[in-house]
Structure 1
Amino acid sequence: MASAGVVAACTLLPGGEASPTSTPESGPAGSSSDEAVGTDEISPLVIGVVAPDPVPVPGSDELFHVAYELTVLNFAPRPAVITSVETLTTDGEVVASLTEDEVAVRDGFRTAVVGEDHRPGGDPAIRIPAGKTALLVLDDTYPSRDAVPATVTHRITASFGSPESGDGGVAVLWPDEVTQTGGTVTISTEEPVVVGAPLRGQGWIVENGCCTLNAHRNVLLPVGGRINGAERFAIDVSRIDVAATREHGYEPGVEVDGDPAQNENYLAYGAPVLAVADATVVAVHASVPDTPPGKLPLGPGFTLADLGGNMVALELAPDLFAVYYHLAPGSPRVEVGDRVSAGDEIARVGNSGNSSAAHLHFQLSRTPLIFSSDNVPFVLDEFGVVGTLDAASGELLGEPNPGPRRDALPLVLTVVDFD
């Protein structure tokens, strides 16, 4: 039986339909108030952080790098474009910022939408469809360890387009533009692990590595039920003719002596690979053939387990492993269970697995399975900086200051000597 004094009211369902409900015509005397209690506001961006807490790492540029990734879920029924990102301290100081163009870098994989295949070229804007999540790669730098804050958060501005289907229903409730704060990052108090160099000699170039945009920073994979930044601090090291690079710039030929179709002609090929610390050998693969130069073996039947080709994994300590990929066929000199000392030769540089030219992929991780375990930040005890390659011109620049480095990580496009 209906109650007296009740009228119908409506609430909007997600599809835009009216749902009947009931409300009293009036409440008891004194129950209403004219005082403002604030207003509900929709916040369409759900901002998260990819684990683990970042560890500040001193780089070969003599700055401290805090490398991490954000997840940005677009909860709105309208597509979003991020127009700016600012990193803030707890007192509101802006310590880093990105413009819309910098957020949308495709060739360097600054931002990627989950489930979309982002390749170089194409529309420079990163559009996050309704209900989709974007992964955003960040690298904040500081002049010293003392300057690194304990926590940071982020102020993200985004604009929204028209609903992607139908009349949008409740899409009218979503704003055209928002500025939200979120994605709080706790910066770890841990120190990077100090190890020796995995190679020796001169003229080595870090082709992929920490901390700016390159093919290691975009390795964000769903393994073990979570998004994992598996190669944050991994380095790909190849070898060049430094004199030729100084004279002609970085161009075809500075990495090879002879026919570039032959792996053995690459300057890095066959170089000794070294144990970076006293350790126990826990994994060895030695029978994978080299990949022809200029090719990648991706295709049907290729799996994550095939990416590294021939490899060696060393246990340096409990939950700490050094992993070496792309070794030459038959070159590993160690077997599982062997003990090695820092500086021992364990294999030779090759071009096996997912590799287009001879180089060494090296990293530390919490298990020998790099894609499902945390990537561990590290520094090398000593090396020399020759210069940095300018990606646009190919010129070898004399900056940051050439010279010796201790307990630092050689950064991407840095040319170094391991003497």
Structure 2
Amino acid sequence: MSHREPFVLALPFAGRWLVQNSPATRVPSHATELFGSSHAIDFVPVDADGRSARRGLRSVFGSERPEEFVGFGRAILAPVTGEVVRVHDGEEDHVARRSIGALIGYALTQPARVRNGAPAIAGNHVVIRADDVLVLLAHLREGRATPRVGDVVHVGEQVGECGNSGNSTEPHLHLQVSESIDRHGRGVPLAFRRADELPWVPGNGEIVGA
């Protein structure tokens, strides 16, 4: 586990996003340190009522199309200025799973995804090198990752769209800072800028963004 000072980022989106699996609550935030994820944070896009999608029979008993979620396709922005060192695309945006039955079945496939490495976990993703760390933006929409390896991106520049690829049960953004995204990579604490205030780590259940 890292003891570095937090690496400060800009929020990588506009609109309203619900915080889940925050390192403000626990570390490792996702119950694992694998792939540099010890301080990762998840953001789920929501509407004005705080919902990611309407509830219906399929949300209770089955699976749902990712297009039914309000945030599917929302722009994902670079939270730092740096060099793009990895772009992975081509992973399918699979169905979303909010029902108990669908979630249990999905959990049983978790060991296989871990064995298959970072692409199976992160899905479509972009990695930006800033200073001596790597910033990972994961679960992007298939075919919408815009930069190429070697490009320099700037804060606020669009790098993709919110999707449901990889280890994802509904459209959301997984963001982490780490020294490596290899299996035994070390995570780095993160924080976010906000106007006229000190950087902060939003907590679970907090809605951030404009």
**TM-score relative to the length of structure 1:** 0.43
**Rounded Cα–Cα distance in structure 2 between residues aligned with 1:300 and 1:344:** 35
Tell me how far 1:268 sits from its aligned partner. 1.8
Tell me how far apart the structure 2 counterparts of residues 365 and 214 of structure 1 sit (CA, whole Å): 14
Task: Name the CA distance, whole Å, in 1 between partners of 2:67 and 2:197.
Answer: 31
Amino acid at match of 1:347: G
Bigger fraction of residues in helix: 2
1:406 Cα offset (Å): 3.7
Instruction: Tell me, yes or no, if the aligned pair for 1:263 and 1:351 is still in contact at 8 Å.
Output: yes
Letter in 2 for 1:310: N
Q: Which residue number corresponds to residue 18 of structure 2?
A: 205
Alignment match, 2:37: 231
Change beyond 3 A, Cα 1:264–1:215: farther
Q: Shift of residue 257 of structure 1?
A: 4.8
> Runs of 5+ in structure 2 lacking a partner?
none
Q: Does 1:408 align with 2:205?
A: no
* Correspondence 1:102-117 to 2 at 5 A: none
- How far has the Cα of 1:382 moved from its partner? 1.3
Q: Which residue of 2 aligns with 1:361?
A: 174
Q: Deviations over 1:308-338 (max 9, x none)?
A: 1101001112x21110110000010111111
Amino acid at match of 1:374: R
User: Distance between the aligned counterparts of 2:54 and 2:142, measured in 1?
Assistant: 21
Largest Rg, 1 or 2: 1
Contact 1:211–1:232 (Cα < 8 Å) also in 2? no
TM-score with structure 2 setting the length = 0.81
**Whole-angstrom CA distance in 1 between matches of 2:136 and 2:182:** 8
Unmatched 5+ residue regions in structure 1? 1-50, 56-190, 224-229, 246-253, 384-403
Offset, 1:211: 3.0
Instruction: Give the superposition deviation at 1:292.
Output: 1.0
Aligned with residue 310 of structure 1, among 121, 124, 132: 124
Asked if 1:379 corresponds to 2:191, the answer is: yes
Q: What does 1:7-406 align with in structure 2 at a 5 Å threshold?
A: 51-52=1-2, 54-55=3-4, 191-201=5-15, 203-213=16-26, 216-221=29-34, 230-243=36-49, 245=50, 254-257=51-54, 261-294=64-97, 296=106, 298=109, 301-302=112-113, 303-305=116-118, 306-317=120-131, 319-367=132-180, 369=181, 371-382=183-194, 405-406=197-198
Aligned length: 193
Task: In structure 2, give the amino acid aligned to 1:355.
Answer: S
Judging by fraction of residues, say which structure has more strand. 1
Once residues 194 and 211 of structure 1 are traced to their aligned partners in structure 2, the CA distance between those partners, rounded to angstroms, is 14
Aligned 8 A contact 2:139 2:162 in 1: yes
Matched residue SS, 2:96: coil
* Displacement after TM superposition at 1:379 (Å): 1.3
Deviations 1:354-377 (A, max 9, x none): 11100000011112x154222111
Match in the other structure for 1:138: none
- Helix, strand or coil for the counterpart of 1:211? coil
For residues 137 and 17 of structure 2, the distance between their equivalents in structure 1, rounded to whole angstroms, comes to 16
What is the rounded CA distance, in whole Å, between the counterparts of 2:76 and 2:111 in structure 1?
31
- Secondary structure at the counterpart of residue 307 of structure 1: helix
* Partner SS, residue 347 of structure 1: strand
CA distance in 2, matches of 1:337, 1:378: 24
The verdict on how the C-alpha distance between 1:238 and 1:300 changes in structure 2, with shifts beyond 3 A counting, is: closer
RMSD across aligned positions (CA): 2.5
